[in-house]
Amino acid sequence: MLKKKILLLITFLIISFLNITKVYSIGPDTFVQSTVNRAAKTLGGNLTKDERVEKLKDIAKDTVDIRAIGFYSLGSYRKNLSNKEMKKYQEVFAEYFLKSFSSRLAEYSNPEIEVVSKKKINENYTIVFSKLVATETRPEVKIDWRVYTKNPDNLLIRDLIIEGLSLARTQKEEFSSIISSSDGDINALIKNLEDFVTK
Amino acid sequence: MNKILITSLISLMLVSGASADTDGQNTMSKKSPGKVRDCFESLNRATFSLNQGLDKVIFKPVAKSYRSLPSSVRTGTSNALINISSLITIPNNILQGEFKTAGINTGRFVVNTTIGIIGIFDVAEKMGFSEYEKEDYGQTLGKWGVGAGCYVVLPVLGPSTVRDTVGSFINVLGGDPYYNASTHGNNEYLSDSIYMTTKVLSGVDFRAKNLESIDNLEKNSLDFYASVRSLYLQDRQQKIANSNPTIEIMYEGDWEEVESQ
């Protein structure tokens, strides 16, 4: 009888937990808007540039699928890498990405981004459409977000498409250019990434 | 003489474009978006460096000065330049079979040139005309299925492809009514120098609008040349597609492969 009660209690707790996670999972559009709001709060606050950069890095770690972007950016070269090379690449790529991402964003002060709509591409991806509101010096800019939705409780950004131009694709073609100009040697890319991180 | 020179250049470019196209890698038409080969990469990189030097010494400082003008002056100038560009857009709308859009753009041009005082005020937008999108002969050729040919970097003018360069030549071979009126028209208001001033102003306006974004891109690129090439080719591809760019350029296959890692 006691065993049965314990079993029921465990079952109840599991169901409750599942319900709680379901209740708290948010849609890709809300996820993007809240991420943008976090970044805007950081950029609009009274922080030094270094503090801003660190905060932006934290936001990126929470919301961007850095590992997947690293894979994607390698293009077809990823198939030729040894485990050791891949590990080394992923480590330096993460550092490169965080530095590049935070440096790009830290230049903006108080950006106002409004989520407009969303479109589900397939089970894994939803595109969230947004716009960067125009200012005196800059026209309105369309920004679309490729959100990885495979795990609804852990949504992650995989690409930013600014006025139809994919940042991930640009990075992939940039990496490809570096590797191919070194006869397919991945170490040339790793060296470039290391130089960027340390400069 | 000029026409002979231009025709020869176009023939040469079409020939080199055609031969470069035979490997099947450099098609960037609507039917088969794909890779565009950088056949002249060493020369292109040298020209790119030259352009960067010119930008640093001339274009960027001029663009910065232009940015210091009052916002209303810049907006008016930008509007007038966009209005002039519809003279190339409208024939291309027709050549692409977009007759309704051609009609709308013609209406927009008439309204803005008259009520909007040579296009300084975008009255058409306030009247509810749909969003204006520029078209050119390079896009039309792409829509007709002509491959992009090799990627080229032109001195001063910047990134292009063989097809887009040919498209630009069509402007000066009679395809641009504004050019025709400026150089061959017998009127006291337009001239060669006014045409050139308009073109230079378009470049300055573009540079001024992109001061921060270009600086930012350069600062955060491992290979700035490759980044600019990628962005130019993506931009052309979505403009030729003439549809929702985000969905069309997704390259889902690439991302799906990431899933299997």
Mean pLDDT, chain A cut into blocks of 10 residues (199 residues total)? 60 52 71 90 81 88 93 89 91 93 76 89 91 80 91 92 90 94 91 92
**CB atoms B229 and A173 under 8 Å:** yes
Query: For the ranges A18-32, A131-145, B191-205, B234-248, which has the lowest average pLDDT?
Result: A18-32
Residue B166, pLDDT > 90, answer yes
Residue B155, pLDDT > 90, answer yes
**Cα(A194)–Cα(A196) distance, integer angstroms:** 5
Burial class (CB in 10 A: 0-12, 13-18, 19+), A71: buried
Question: Contact A72/A126 with Cβ under 8 angstroms?
Answer: no
Higher-confidence position of B185 and B160 = B160
Residue B242, pLDDT > 80, answer no
**E strands along chain B, which residues?**
151-154, 158-161
**CB atoms B258 and A178 under 8 Å:** no
pLDDT tens track for B8-37:
444 434 333 333 333 333 334 444 445 789
**Cα(B144)–Cα(A78) distance, integer angstroms:** 36
Q: Taking residues B164-191, what's their average pLDDT? A: 87
Q: Taking residues B61-83, what's their average pLDDT? A: 93
Q: Taking residues B174-184, what's their average pLDDT? A: 87
Residues forming a β-bridge with B52 = none
**Cα(A14)–Cα(A153) distance, integer angstroms:** 16
At residue A163, the pLDDT reads 86
Question: Contact A175/A78 with Cβ under 8 angstroms?
Answer: no
At residue A7, the 3 state secondary structure works out as helix
Would you call B42 an interface residue with chain A, using a CB distance cutoff of 8 Å?
A: no
- β-strands A125-132, A113-120 pairing: antiparallel
- Provide the phi-psi class of A134: left if phi over 0, else alpha when psi is between -120 and 50, else beta: beta
Q: Taking residues B116-133, what's their average pLDDT? A: 92
At residue B184, the pLDDT reads 79
At residue B17, the pLDDT reads 38
Rounded to two decimals, the ipTM of the complex is 0.80
Q: Taking residues B112-133, what's their average pLDDT? A: 93
pLDDT tens track for B137-152:
999 999 999 999 999 9
pTM above 0.95, yes or no: no
Question: Which residues in chain B touch residue A143, judged by CB atoms under 8 angstroms apart?
Answer: none
How near does any CA of chain A get to the CA of B7, in Å?
34
Token pair 């120098």 is found at B193
Q: Nearest chain A Cα to B235, which residue?
A: A165
Q: Taking residues B52-68, what's their average pLDDT? A: 95
Would you call B261 an interface residue with chain A, using a CB distance cutoff of 8 Å?
A: yes
Residues forming a β-bridge with A64 = A157
- β-strands A156-162, A141-148 pairing: antiparallel
Question: Which residues in chain A touch residue B209, judged by CB atoms under 8 angstroms apart?
Answer: 138-139
If one counts every other C-beta atom within 10 angstroms of the C-beta of residue B10, the result is: 17
**E strands along chain A, which residues?**
113-120, 125-132, 141-148, 156-162, 165-166
Higher-confidence position of B112 and A6 = B112
Secondary-structure breakdown of chain A: helix, strand, coil percentages, each rounded to the nearest 5: 60, 15, 20
**Cα(B234)–Cα(B167) distance, integer angstroms:** 18
At residue B241, the pLDDT reads 86
Of the pLDDT bands very low, low, confident and very high (cuts 50, 70, 90), residue B76 is very high
